[in-house]
Amino acid sequence: MPITADHVGRSYPATKPYRVSRAKIAEFATALGDQNPAYFDADGPIAPPTFAAVIAAQAWGALFGDPELGLALQRTMHADQRFDIVRPLREGDDVVATLTIERVRNRGNTDMVTIGVELATVDGEPLGTATSQLIHTRQEAAE
């Protein structure tokens, strides 16, 4: 059975904690070409806002691993991304990500799926949400 609007609201268990490190913040900022001093601060750097995608993407495994949905990463295009940040991620944060299916639209053999990934510290402090729209082509259309 393909993913449908009946799956809206389905949430998956939180990911294992991800430790935000100085090295990963610097690596990410460097890859972006962003030399903002806040990302390299010796007293405790913050991460670029889009660093949230690194952690949110780990939650995608549960979505694509759900056999009921029929989703396949190789038939999926990441169409849109939005970040709603409560506070910057900081060196030393232990972050978990919880994915929820927010919207599903089906058009022919194409599924348009909006997912929200809530980011929080292991102590439950909200950090923000990464919202993505995925466009998925079902198997029968891909053949």
Q: What is the pLDDT of residue 113?
A: 98
> The tokens of 130 are what?
């990464």
Q: Please measure the distance between the N-terminal and C-terminal CA atoms of the chain and give it in whole angstroms.
A: 17
> The tokens of 48 are what?
């670029």
> The tokens of 122 are what?
């292991």
Question: Is pLDDT larger for residue 139 or for residue 97?
Answer: 97
Q: What is the pLDDT of residue 142?
A: 47
Calculated CA dihedral for residues 88, 94, 95, 96, nearest 10 degrees: -170
R_g over Cα of the chain:
17
* Mean of pLDDT values over 44-63: 95
Residue tagged 């929820």 (tokens): 100
The pTM (predicted TM-score) of the whole model is 0.91
How far is CA 139 from its chain centroid? Answer: 24
Contacts (Cβ under 8 Å, ≥6 apart) of 124: none
Predicted confidence band of residue 71 (pLDDT cuts 50, 70, 90): very high
